[in-house]
Structure 1
């Protein structure tokens, strides 16, 4: 909660900066532009106009009401993107459903990313730098990847090269955005791990996702148990056993969940062997000297 509060406070501070007519930011080269590029800013809804060239013209009322209810309960998880037209004047670039739903429930302000003149390179640098931070949760990383695709126009292949991650790793993060907002919030707040989320994303129905999510929380299910639960969802009859181990690999749940985190962090196929008495060995492969140096930096920080 403190983390979210700090972000909101920062957004309000930037909002005040943008409302100062003596320091109006119009270009990426202007003073304080670096504080805005890549950051979330709280904007007044009345200062934003919709894009007249928006390709979507029909918005389903039922789904819009569902989104409005979600925003009312959880807040807006994914900020909208706008471009600056003039002093305290913005035009919607993406997120019109979020914008309409926010207006529907009477919100006065909305979190937004602001595009300003000639900020393409600055925005890309800010996003890539943001992704390299170690305190981001999986959903924040996924949103940053999605922004690089949507706002910069990178393909997943180009994105992979730019951030130094395997394409499969990027795909796994992006898939998390298919989860129900309640589950995304639970992941951001630390109630479930990315491993849980990767299992839940294989369930198409949002309602069923929530049902399984509530069981994970209520029964404190591990990632392995969640995977078993999802398999049972697709193939009824398979039992979920608490404290189970992988018969194929002989790896206990505590280690399996930890390995998932290690593989994501090191971005390599880490191997694990565990003996019957609980002792184990971790093996980290590398391709060449450069790969070894990269791994060393991630592990030691130097």
Structure 2
């Protein structure tokens, strides 16, 4: 208890330092910056603004109230992270649930880690820290990945290194953004899982996606049931439209159907299989752009 009291007192002391205009710290090279940056400091909640780069867009009211009750009882255990904008003005980098719950609990201050960063660094920190630490839904994660790629100009490989995830994992999340918006909303609201979404990606027509989506909810279909339904739909579609040759209607051997999943995971793309009656076959790997083609080429070359 003595250590906690001493730490809180130190935080309040540093807070007073930040309120002194003569000690306004704007960079890591400024006087007393080493006493502030990276330390836990009690900041007034009214001096902190919400981060516009926050990937989480919805907060559960019930869990916020539960967190607020916990904070009233034992305080904020894990400090939030902020970046300094101006004199006595800060912006959230991570910890918006704790920030909101603290306001709900009636707190005036909150323990905070202070960082100095520009907008791009703040965006990177906010997205990466939230992806790693927060319970984001699959669509929020996918949007965070897409935003990092678009606004910081990262390739999937660079993003993989930045967030510590396999490139195939990132590709699988990004593919969810191709789903109909209604299905994306259903995933965000917890009506279907990411596994259901990944199965629905293999349905090209959006109306058919929506039909299966309604069936998943209405009949409480499992991911495996959904995959079988999608596979059956695609097989019937090929047979009735004449878009598949006789070679593609041949039953795919079990060793192929199992192995092709590993190819799909590795390349981050849906792999089409064609098998002829004599046992010979082809694997078709699609690409969506020049960059995507170069990515696939790099993956193939890396195995040489």
When Rg is computed on C-alpha atoms for both structures, the one with the higher figure is 2
TM-score (norm 1): 0.43
